[in-house]
Amino acid sequence: MMRGMDQQKAVVSCGLWPLYRYDPRLKDQGKNPFTLDSKEATTSLEDFMYKEVRFKSLKAASPDRADALLAKAKAQAERVYREYKYLAERPF
């Protein structure tokens, strides 16, 4: 609990939890209602995940499975960021 804010910042900076806003009122003004607040990942996903016991224990119990799941998580985080970036930059 003492490091909750640090972990929240870490999950955003590694790209696993992108921050965005959606304001449907902007449609009436001819503006894009979707705004992406997060930047591209600045830290690695491993840095975030292996600070948490749940991920460390998986790595200790089954390293191959943990590596495979980490690769999937990285790919998904990158895909989500690209999709959100597209939504934020598209003309409305």
pLDDT in tens, 14-60: 999 999 999 999 999 999 999 999 999 999 999 999 999 999 999 99
Q: Is 48 exposed, middle or buried (0-12, 13-18, 19+ CB in 10 A)?
A: buried
Its pTM stands at 0.86
- Please compute the mean of the pLDDT values over residues 84-92 and round it to a whole number: 92
Angle at CA of residue 65, ends 59 and 71, nearest 5°:
95
Q: Which pLDDT band, with edges at 50, 70 and 90, does 4 fall under? A: confident
The C-alpha atoms of residue 72 and residue 80 are separated, in whole angstroms, by: 12
- 92 compared with 77, residue with greater pLDDT: 77
Amino acid at 20: Y
Model pLDDT, residue 26: 95
